[in-house]
Chain A
């Protein structure tokens, strides 16, 4: 596609439920990244994919967070047993080959945990 596409754009769920966030990168981009933006923490890195592999997942805040990427394209970020502190905007980015290539961001998913 022309840009990075994320869905849903907004998600409201109850504490304790599981959520799945989806990211469709720019066509042809092999590298994909997830970041989180919250009021107190700014923009923080979560995980990086090169193809279907995740060489850096050190930013995932707990084992309730997981992500996968299939076919070298779409990625899903899953949060299990959501907590109120998970409320944030989840941003996905992609870049052509990874490394020092510029990253292009989607519009994000705004997640609210009640």
Chain B
């Protein structure tokens, strides 16, 4: 299978700070998704971003497919941003299964 590595594993921020989360993957991919798992366990879609840059409010993401990495930027963090951020990738040859990284645990303090 494909290896997905996320860094850092843990991140603690003060409210208002900015952060960058990284996802490295070991092979070419056809799809990449970023998810936020909130403290209630819900897995929320943030971005579908196989390549390029997208922005949604305070969040943005960039995937450089040729270099096999993706970055998730969180600006002006809020306590509601706390939770685990997962990167997941898909290869066309494996019929749609997503391979997940281990996640980045983000804690934002007021």
Q: Check if B95 sits within 8 Å of A56, measured CB to CB.
A: yes
Instruction: For the complex, give the distance between the alpha carbons of A23 and B37 in Å.
Output: 19
Q: How many residues of B contact A (CB 8 A)?
A: 25
- Interface pick from A12-20, A66-74, A78-86, A103-111: A103-111
Of A33, A104, A108, the residue contacting B97 (CB under 8 A) is A33
Across the interface, name the chain B residue whose C-beta is closest to A43: B100
Interface code B4-47, partner A: CB below 8 Å = 1, 0 otherwise?
00000000000000000000000000110101000011110100
Across the interface, name the chain A residue whose C-beta is closest to B43: A105
Asked whether A77 is an interface residue with its Cβ less than 8 Å from the other chain, the reply is no
Q: Check if A91 sits within 8 Å of B43, measured CB to CB.
A: yes
Q: Check if A100 sits within 8 Å of B31, measured CB to CB.
A: yes
Across the interface, name the chain A residue whose C-beta is closest to B31: A100
**What are the residues of chain A within 8 A of B42 when measuring CB–CB?**
105, 107-108
Taking residues whose C-beta sits less than 8 angstroms from the other chain, chain A's interface range is 20 to 34
Q: Check if A42 sits within 8 Å of B102, measured CB to CB.
A: yes
Instruction: For the complex, give the distance between the alpha carbons of A35 and B33 in Å.
Output: 15
Interface code B28-72, partner A: CB below 8 Å = 1, 0 otherwise?
001101010000111101001010000000000000000000000
Asked whether B90 is an interface residue with its Cβ less than 8 Å from the other chain, the reply is yes
**What are the residues of chain B within 8 A of A105 when measuring CB–CB?**
35, 42-43, 45
Q: Check if A45 sits within 8 Å of B103, measured CB to CB.
A: no
Asked whether B74 is an interface residue with its Cβ less than 8 Å from the other chain, the reply is no
**What are the residues of chain A within 8 A of B33 when measuring CB–CB?**
102-103
Show the binding face of B for A, using Cβ within 8 Å: 30-31, 33, 35, 40-43, 45, 48, 50, 86, 88, 90, 92, 94-103
Query: Please, could you name 15 A-B residue pairs with CB atoms under 8 Å apart, sorted by A?
Result: A33-B98, A42-B103, A44-B100, A45-B99, A48-B97, A50-B96, A56-B96, A56-B97, A99-B96, A100-B50, A100-B90, A101-B31, A104-B45, A108-B42, A108-B43
Show the binding face of A for B, using Cβ within 8 Å: 31, 33, 35, 42-45, 48, 50, 55-56, 59, 89, 91, 93, 95, 98-105, 107-108, 110
User: Beyond the given A31-B96, A42-B103, A98-B95, could you list 4 further A-B residue pairs with CB under 8 A, ordered by the A residue number?
Assistant: A48-B96, A50-B96, A59-B97, A101-B31
